[in-house]
């Protein structure tokens, strides 16, 4: 007999910033305490994706609900880093 598993897609925004000591750190505003770091931007992205996945899995296992703001709709948020000349940067 086949088991049917229903799935639902979620999107979480992550904030990634340069760390003062080098590398990057990231956190998910919708998931308190969901933070990570990495030596490179790509490593940090992979780490926060893994951290969010694990956080949500635990939430569901203990009977908590996923934040309503994470339910997929037709809008997307992109984190697009750009480099500006120092004289144009805001303090």
Q: Give the mean pLDDT per block of 10 residues along the chain (91 residues).
A: 65 90 93 95 94 91 84 59 64 53
Model pLDDT, residue 67:
84
Q: What whole-number distance in Å separates Cα of residue 84 and Cα of residue 60?
A: 42
Asked whether residue 48 is assigned to any structural domain, the reply reads yes
What's the total number of domains in the chain?
1
Q: How far is CA 29 from the centre of its chain?
A: 8
Q: Containing domain of residue 35, as a range?
A: 24-71
Model pLDDT, residue 21:
93
Task: Tell me the CATH number at 59.
Answer: 3.30.160.250
Model pLDDT, residue 5:
57
Model pLDDT, residue 44:
94
Q: What whole-number distance in Å separates Cα of residue 19 and Cα of residue 38?
A: 9
Contact between residue 32 and residue 12 where contact means Cβ atoms under 8 Å apart: no
Asked whether residue 2 is assigned to any structural domain, the reply reads no
């Amino acid at each position: 007999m086949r088991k049917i598993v229903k799935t639902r897609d979620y999107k979480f925004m992550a904030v990634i910033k340069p760390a003062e000591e080098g590398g990057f750190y990231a956190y998910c505003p919708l998931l308190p305490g969901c933070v990570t770091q990495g030596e490179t931007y790509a490593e940090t992205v992979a780490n926060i994706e893994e951290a969010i996945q694990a956080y949500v899995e635990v939430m569901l296992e203990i009977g908590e609900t996923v934040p309503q703001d994470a339910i997929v709709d037709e809008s997307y948020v992109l984190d697009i880093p750009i480099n500006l000349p120092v004289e144009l940067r805001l303090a």
